[in-house]
Structure formats: structure tokens, C-alpha cells
Amino acid sequence: DGSVTHTNDVEGGSNWWMVNLMGTATIRDVKIYNRMYCGSQCMSWLNQFVIEVLDYDMNVVSSLAYNDTAGAIIHLLMENAEGSYIRISNANTYLCLAEVEVFGTKLYDFPTFSPTSIPTTVPSLSPKPNLALNKPAQQSSTGSNAGADLAVDGNTNGNFNDGSVTHTEIGSNWWMVDLQVIAVIKDVKIYNR
């Protein structure tokens, strides 16, 4: 169907494929979809390969050697390596990949160029989703009918009379939100009344 990569035979060298993530990310896992429908010979081209996570300066920060019989899908855990590129290489005759999926959390975008073509020195933070938005929240008590869910309704207005501020009764108080997902927490913003 025209959706499989294929390298040439490199005499005495290795074949490689690489993707630029256009920023720095924490890499959780990678799924590699092997070439199919050409017999066991094609699938065996992925029997031994190395997958590497490289940083912005192209230094290898994590490497994993795969030395097993390749199936249709190879799922590799990358132990949350932080990097900007994923490279797959082998010393076999060819390297064929049907699809590569990289899963993790994007931390930064690469530096951008200003209109004067001078690169920025610090990568800009990617817009991060609010993991708590509209998730179930609880608090130790509720005062003035101002429940815990008001702190995660997306409205940052601190005027209590506008109806988007939580309130507890007097005592030892707490507030909690269930993110309903396991996540790497980088920062928390709290908007006061």
C-alpha cells in the first residue's frame, strides 16, 4: 500500500531510520510495526536492531538493543528517557518499518527563529493541557454551596460572588482532585480568591 520504509543494502555499514520529535520529550515507550506480507525473510530484518533516544545535540541518552525474533509489532519500554530524536539502526541487509509510534510527554519545543533569524536561547514551553480540568474533586467540607468541583471548572475568576470559587467550613481543611490518569506532574497553578 506504499506505507513502508525501505533502505538500500549498505556494504559493511548499518542502516538507520530517525524521527525528529521537534522538541524534547520524556519517552515512555515505542511501538514498531514490522513489514508484513513478504514472507519470514522480510520480517527477520528486524530481528536484531538498536533503538536510541538522542538529545537536542544528537548525543545518545538511552539505548536499547533488541535481539529477539521480530513479530508484527514490537513494543519497547524506554524507561522515561528524555530526548529529541529516536533512531533505529541495524547491521542487516535492509531496514524496513511499516510504522513507528512514540509515546510520552512533550516537555519543550525546539528553539524557534525570530524574524531576524537569530535563534532563541531557551526552548519555549509547549502549551500543557490542564490535567485537572473537569475531573472529580473533593474537599474536607463545603461552605456556602461552593463545592470542590469549582476549582477545576476552567474559570479562573477569583470573585466569590461570580460562583467559581470553592469554600470549606472552618477547621482542618483539604482539597483533592482525581486526575483519572497516571501522569508526570511538572507544575501546578493555584488561583486564589
Helix, strand, coil: what percent of the chain each, to 5? 5, 40, 55
CA gyration radius for the chain? 24
Distant-in-sequence, close-in-space partners of 74: CB < 8 Å, separation ≥ 6: 31, 32, 34, 46, 66
SS3 153: coil
User: What kind and span of H or E run contains 43?
Assistant: helix 40-44
Contact in structure between 71 and 45 (CB atoms under 8 Å): no
- 124-135 residue pLDDT tens: 444 567 888 888
Cell of 141: 467540607
Euclidean distance between CA atoms 88 and 120, whole angstroms: 30
Euclidean distance between CA atoms 37 and 9, whole angstroms: 20
Instruction: Provide mean pLDDT across the span 46-63.
Output: 88
Q: What average pLDDT does the chain have?
A: 78
Euclidean distance between CA atoms 91 and 74, whole angstroms: 18
Minimal CA–CA distance to 21: which of 61, 68, 73, 75?
Answer: 61
Distant-in-sequence, close-in-space partners of 63: CB < 8 Å, separation ≥ 6: 50, 51, 52, 53
Model confidence at 21: pLDDT above 60: yes
Minimal CA–CA distance to 175: which of 188, 183, 166?
Answer: 166
Residue 36: predicted pLDDT: 64
Percentage above 90 pLDDT, the chain: 12
Taking phi first (over 0 means left), then psi (-120 to 50 degrees means alpha), and beta for anything else, what does residue 149 get? alpha
Residue 184: predicted pLDDT: 74
pTM of the model: 0.54
